[in-house]
Amino acid sequence: MREILREIGMIARALDSISNIEFKELELTKGQYLYLVRICENPGIIQEKAAEIIKVDRTTAARAIQKLEMNGFIEKKDDQHNKKIKKLFPTEKGKTVYPIIKREHDYSNSVALEGFSDNEVETIFDLLQRVRKNVEKDWEFVKKGNKRNY
Amino acid sequence: MREILREIGMIARALDSISNIEFKELELTKGQYLYLVRICENPGIIQEKAAEIIKVDRTTAARAIQKLEMNGFIEKKDDQHNKKIKKLFPTEKGKTVYPIIKREHDYSNSVALEGFSDNEVETIFDLLQRVRKNVEKDWEFVKKGNKRNY
DNA sequence: AGTTTTTTGTTGCATTTACAATATATTTAT
DNA sequence: ATAAATATATTGTAAATGCAACAAAAAACT
């Protein structure tokens, strides 16, 4: 059994740690870059959806986004037709910070893929997407309170 | 630019979340399974080393391991020749729980790799190991207080 | 139309996480 | 041998995380 998930965990923790340290100078505290990036790339997205694509608890997302708003990176706007939801948009400040985050991510990405051929890059991307799709089914299942059987 | 790191982040958060939920019935709280597994597989390992291979802050590891000890999953033993270090060993209770964690991990692994050929499994494992090695250099560099240049 | 279920958002609370600072043992350098 | 540097462990503090519980709007069902 090839323990691919252990490798993935190590990589993810290392990179998250690096990003959190590097983004402190942007006044972004732990984890916030995750939400800001998604909101910049999907303006109008709602909190619930952001949590789902990031794969984080709804209440964690709620508070992270609250704080992003408080600190002026994003704003919440009411929807015309649906009183329940609040659409999320980056502010000017958020839009200014986005390319800095992007640059960091691109750099980390290039570090991660050092020594990879173009072909290998395509391959790992394809395989990882498949893993992600496999895994997110179980995540949603378990998060909803269901029990996996094994 | 193929955003492989975003995929990795999603996968890691989803699986960590699943594991944390599933291990609550073992009386293991958030994150503890990480440390217990490493200690079971590397009996005698020290805290500092565990943090390093897991890729987590030293102080976080310190408290997680403290708690594992308090709850009887592991024990710390003084070293004969080095008064500074404390070697970590699973207790009987820890050893009992280990195969349950392992089974869960194996299951998640098989879910993650659903639809993969043997060849693809080998490929992704190999590529991920290379990514991990690339990334851990930067992690150690940044954790030590150095600044990446990009 | 009325009822039930689902979706979305929020808050209380307990816990984990990690930075900063401290202490002590060990190793390296002079 | 002594001093400086490094390795290892710990604690204080602030913040994020996530479960449980709640509320209200929307959607699905009868």
Which residue among A8, A122, A135 sits closest to B128, beta carbon to beta carbon?
A8
- Mean pLDDT computed over A141-147: 93
Model pTM? 0.95
- Residue in B closest to A16 by C-alpha: B9
| CA atoms of B23 and B36, how far apart (whole Å) | 12
What phi, psi does A64 have (nearest 5°)? Answer: -65, -40
For A91-132, give the DSSP string. -HHHHHHHHHHHHHHHHHHHHHTTT--HHHHHHHHHHHHHHH
A68 CA from C12 C1′ (Å): 21
The per-residue pLDDT for range A63-117, each reduced to its tens digit, is 999 999 999 999 999 999 999 999 999 999 999 999 999 999 999 999 999 999 9
Q: What is the pLDDT of residue A123?
A: 97
Contact B150 A107 (CB under 8 A): yes
The per-residue pLDDT for range B49-102, each reduced to its tens digit, is 999 999 999 999 999 999 999 999 999 999 989 999 999 999 999 999 999 999
| CA atoms of B11 and B16, how far apart (whole Å) | 8
Residue bearing tokens 């250099």? B137
Percent of chain B with pLDDT over 90: 96
